[in-house]
Copies of this chain bind each other. A is one copy, B any other.
């Protein structure tokens, strides 16, 4: 088969790769209905955290189970399933506490920008839909695999609830879906930080009530203005840079909540800044598995449409154009059809 491999900065290739096989009895092989390019793929594509060897890309996936290992008990061939970027056994203590992305047996799932994918720990990782979905539902289901699950964790980790003023830093797919998630959790007031027309529009559609275009110190000052000098109750940091993190911390009121879900790049937090900011801080790799049943349910009932973040649809063999379009911010997120 052909799959997506990153060779170095800007060098993404769609080329012959070995077909995945069951290598452990707990594995499943799935045939992808759709996959996509992640904001985090762009870091290595841009040479920030470069790859040391040709690396199969893609970690967002949904599709039909093709084959399972002989220890797999609940997942069956023919089912339509969704999983997350970290495979998890869903039985260890960390999983039981809802932190499946820190599972004691976790394995990163790579190589999903391809027609077939091996998913380890299939029983703990994959969640089936009630039945095989209609084509038009696929983008919404695919979104639950990472970007919605991650945006949802951002809102969950910041304890979002009705009555709060919530700020979302970052207008990528995760930031936009953090807006949607905060709205689902009942917040009436959501301030989205964005200076990009198309993304602003989607943020408003997902439930943002205000848009702030300023960044850094000016962004902080604007949030303070909008909250009578108090600061936001919760700020969801969906970028992963020093500037965005400090902007999030400084926009939050003492006792408020900062969540962070973007893989951090060269962030260093000074103890004194944190100490006197007086905020709650929580984040990390989103335990998407914890939220998948609920998110699939919301999508299945057509109560949310997170697939709207896909504004570019390409056949899988044009994956390189998907990377370029996202890198140049021409597209929010590219969906790929094998």
Contacts and interface: CB of A to CB of B under 8 A. Distances in A.
B284 A277 contact: yes
Given A230-B94, A255-B102, A264-B275, A282 B285 contact: no
Given A253-B94, A285-B276, A271 B240 contact: yes
Contacts of A242: 271
A17 interface: no
A268 interface: yes
A260 interface: yes
A285 B93 CA distance: 33
Contact of A271 (B253, B267, B277, B278): B267
A66 B25 CA distance: 78
A162 B229 CA distance: 37
B274 A99 contact: no
Contacts of A203: none
Contacts of A269: 268-269, 271, 274
Interface residues of A, number: 40
Interface in A5-48: none
A97 interface: yes
Contact of A274 (B97, B254, B281): B281
A222 interface: no
Contact of A99 (B93, B260, B278): B278
Contact of A253 (B97, B240, B270): B97
Contacts of A282: 279-281
A210 B279 CA distance: 31
B280 A285 contact: no
Contacts of A271: 240, 242, 245, 260, 264-269
A108 to B, nearest CB: 12
A93 B93 CA distance: 39
A284 B280 contact: no
A272 interface: yes
A280 B277 contact: no
A275 B260 contact: yes
Contacts of A230: 93-94
Interface in A72-130: 93-94, 97-99, 101-102, 104
A53 to B, nearest CB: 21
A3 interface: no
A278 B245 contact: no
A58 interface: no
Interface in A235-293: 240, 242, 245, 253-255, 260, 263-272, 274-285
A255 B285 contact: no
A245 to B, nearest CB: 7
Given A260-B275, A274-B284, 17 more contacts: A93-B230, A94-B230, A94-B253, A94-B255, A98-B255, A99-B255, A102-B278, A104-B229, A242-B271, A245-B271, A260-B274, A263-B275, A264-B271, A264-B274, A265-B271, A267-B272, A274-B283
